[in-house]
Amino acid sequence: MSQPKTDEQLLHDFLAGERAALGELARRYETALLGLATGLLSGRRDLASDAVQETWVRVIRFGKNFMARSSLKTWLYRIAVNQCRSLTMPPGVPASKVDPETPATVTSVDTPAVAADRNHAVRRAVAQLDADKRFAVLLCYHANMTHAEAAEVLELPLGTLKSRLHAALTELRTLLPAEAKP
């Protein structure tokens, strides 16, 4: 069984005219990028879709300029994060503006209503963070991302990223209502 192609190989194949290679890249990263974008954009799935579509457009248009100085994954996420920055709402946006259709994370001990309420509270609290802290905390807790990768995406030293993460978590604890805490 042949080894699956690396991300860089897929990009190279796409630039050579193989459309399916881009489809494979999308299969690997589109869902993750949509998730991250949704989080960064306070649950706005429509804006998240715009951000990710624009990310693919930039991959198509500027893929030939990718110099492999970082991994393709880092490059993709960096583009997506920058798109989210350009679409992001200012901190303190009322929760009513947040997409109410975003499903909540349901644990085994919670009812859907409780889970939804807790999720809403966390989202509201995250929305109140400033952009730097919000991006740092969501990237660090993104399923697909290590701290080192997050630092590379945000083009920050690892120490700076950790400082922002610590500050964000501290602020979140003060912002979250008592019932959201365990």
Partner 1 sequence: MNEMATPTFDLENELRGLTTWHGPAPDLWKAALAADRWRNAGRAGTRWHRVALWAIGGIAAMLAIGVIGVWTLSGRPTRSDYGGPFAAGYRGEVERHHGAGGDFVVRAERIMTLGAPLAAIQEVPPASSGRASFDYLEQETGFVADQAGEAEGADRQVVRKATIELVTKDVRAAFLKAAHLISAAQDEFVQESSLTGTEPHLQGSLVLRVAVPRLSEVLNELRQLGTVQAETSSGEDVTTQVVDLEARLRNEQRVEAELLQLLDKRQDAPLKEIIELHSQLSQVRQTIEQYVAQRERLSRLVSLATVLVLIRSDDAPPPRMGLSSYFSGALADAWYAAVRLLVDTLAVLVRLLLGGAIWWLILLAIVLAVRAHLRHRRRSV
**Smallest gap from residue 68 Cβ to partner 1 (A):** 21
Distance (Å, whole) CA 176 – CA 150: 24
Query: Interface with partner 1 includes 72 (CB under 8 A)?
Result: no
Q: Which of 5, 99, 147, 167 binds partner 1 (CB under 8 A)?
A: 147
Q: How far from each other are the two terminal CA atoms of the chain, in whole angstroms?
A: 47
Q: Residue 114's CB: how many other CB atoms inside 10 A?
A: 14
Distance (Å, whole) CA 98 – CA 100: 6
Judged by DSSP in three states, 8 sits in helix
Tell me which residues in 79-98 interact with partner 1 (CB under 8 A): none
Tell me which residues in 107-146 interact with partner 1 (CB under 8 A): 107, 118-119, 122-123, 126, 137-138, 140-143, 146
Site string for partner 1, 17-46 (x = CB under 8 A): xxxx-xx-xxx--xxx-xxx-xxx--x---
Query: Interface with partner 1 includes 62 (CB under 8 A)?
Result: no
Distance (Å, whole) CA 142 – CA 19: 28
Query: Binding-site residue total for partner 1 (CB under 8 A)?
Result: 56
Helix axes 147-154, 131-140, angle to 10 degrees: 140
* Of 115, 52, 47, nearest in space to 81 by CA: 52
Point out which residues bind partner 1 (CB under 8 A): 17-20, 22-23, 25-27, 30-32, 34-36, 38-40, 43, 49, 52-54, 56-57, 59-61, 102-105, 107, 118-119, 122-123, 126, 137-138, 140-143, 146-147, 162, 165-166, 169, 172-173, 176, 180-182
